[in-house]
Chains A and B, each alone.
Chain A
Amino acid sequence: NAGVTQTPKFQVLKTGQSMTLQCAQDMNHEYMSWYRQDPGMGLRLIHYSVGAGITDQGEVPNGYNVSRSTTEDFPLRLLSAAPSQTSVYFCASSYSPGSSGNTIYFGEGSWLTVV
């Protein structure tokens, strides 16, 4: 049982480049989400998905796209990287928050630097 797996762990991009952060979970969780963590800002929700084919915006979605073609995978795309997107990104998954309290599992993080 791998839990939540994120790749790559480290990435350096030039301004304007695009890339995709991968996230996969093997727990058959409906709910998956992406957070970014910046010094002094805590973790902020970027996008989330409640199931295959369904995504929605979080509190800081600008500059990011997501899709959910399968239950297992929830990639985060940066279309045109900007220095403001330098951050640590965490993927998380859980069963639906629509029912009772569920354990939310996080990946190990992806460190992204945009120069």
Chain B
Amino acid sequence: DAKTTQPPSMDCAEGRAANLPCNHSTISGNEYVYWYRQIHSQGPQYIIHGLKNNETNEMASLIITEDRKSSTLILPHATLRDTAVYYCIVRVYGGNAGGTSYGKLTFGQGTILTVHP
């Protein structure tokens, strides 16, 4: 599984855009990039995912570089409720069941995003 690298912490002012970077330089062609966040040890909450094109949904935008070695999650207007640990994850699709990694999400340490007033 490709490994991801994220800054341990970031700050953002409320109402401003939060841009969270992620490095996944060893990503392979059949690995998607996923972003999740976790608030107060609740279950990880899905944000967005993509393969090679930029993606946008009601929560965020995902920008993936052309070489797919890095990506950026953008929260366009951060609020205090966006304070959380954000995880950038890669997940293999395709292949056959069996083995210890099929369908596995490989979580790193994540980025602690603090949104302040």
Contacts and interface: CB of A to CB of B under 8 A. Distances in A.
Say whether A associates with B.
yes
Interface of A: 4, 31, 33, 35, 37, 40, 42-43, 45, 48, 50, 54, 56-59, 88, 90, 92, 94, 96-109
B8 to A, nearest CB: 12
In this complex, the interface size class of chain B, counting residues with CB under 8 Å from chain A, is 20 to 34
Interface of B: 32, 34, 36, 41-46, 49-51, 91-105, 107-110
Contacts, number: 85
B46 A58 contact: no
B107 to A, nearest CB: 4
A109 B93 CA distance: 25
B105 to A, nearest CB: 6
B94 A98 contact: yes
Contacts of B102: 48, 50, 56, 97
Contacts of A103: 46, 49
11 contacts: A48-B103, A50-B103, A90-B44, A97-B93, A97-B95, A98-B95, A98-B96, A99-B93, A102-B93, A104-B34, A104-B105
